Homo-oligomer: A and B are copies of this chain.
Amino acid sequence: MRLDVPPGRGWCAARFRVRYAETDAAGVVHHAAYLPWFEEGRSELSRQVGAPYSELEKRGVDLVVVKVEARYRVAARYDDQVVVWTRLSEVGSRRCVFTYQVVREADGELLVTGSTEHVALSRASGRPTRIPEPFLSRYAGAAAVP
């Protein structure tokens, strides 16, 4: 399956090379290595919508991962240039869901898809909290793109 163009509106691209340290003895990228790529995808999206995750942390709020799903179709290899397409697929006042498509740049092959679900936790109390403004409305705006 090929994806030659952005998967659609509302998707944000993070691009990088596969590192040797991300491979395993099967000669391909280890399946756990895609989770930091997803994380980098949502980091990039939050920067691009003007709501960087590093700023949210300074406000004492973490978007804790409560669920991860990943489906592996084709393995990436060392030195491949990849794009992680990321979209905010759901946003509520205390939770959100990001969706990912990892694509090999050379030929547009779709490698891995996945999603992560998050809840906002106050670092002080360790309890669920509202995503503070302006983060909530910026995330909601990103998710509303048709």
- Report yes or no: A79 in contact with B32, Cβ–Cβ below 8 A: no
The stretch that binds B, out of A3-11, A19-27, A95-103, is: A19-27
List CB contacts (< 8 Å) of A99-138 with chain B. Answer: 123
**What is the predominant secondary structure among interface residues of chain A facing chain B?**
mixed
- Report yes or no: A69 in contact with B72, Cβ–Cβ below 8 A: no
Taken together as a complex, chains A and B put the C-alpha atoms of A52 and B18 apart, in Å, by 13
**A48, chain B: closest CB distance, angstroms:** 13
Determine the chain B residues whose CB is within 8 A of the CB of A144 once the complex forms. none
Q: Out of B36, B43, B72, name the residue touching A32 (CB < 8 Å).
A: B36
Closest to A123 in B: B26
Query: Taking each of A32, A66, A78, which has the highest tally of chain B beta carbons within 10 Å of its own beta carbon?
Result: A32
- Report yes or no: B71 in contact with A66, Cβ–Cβ below 8 A: yes
Give chain A's interface residues, CB within 8 Å of chain B.
16-17, 19-28, 30-33, 35-36, 39-40, 43, 52-54, 57, 62, 64-73, 75, 77-79, 123
Could you write out 28 A-B pairs with CB less than 8 Å apart?
A: A17-B40, A20-B24, A20-B25, A20-B30, A21-B24, A21-B30, A21-B39, A23-B25, A24-B24, A25-B27, A25-B28, A26-B62, A31-B35, A31-B65, A31-B68, A32-B33, A32-B35, A32-B39, A35-B35, A53-B79, A54-B79, A57-B78, A64-B72, A66-B72, A67-B69, A67-B72, A68-B72, A69-B69
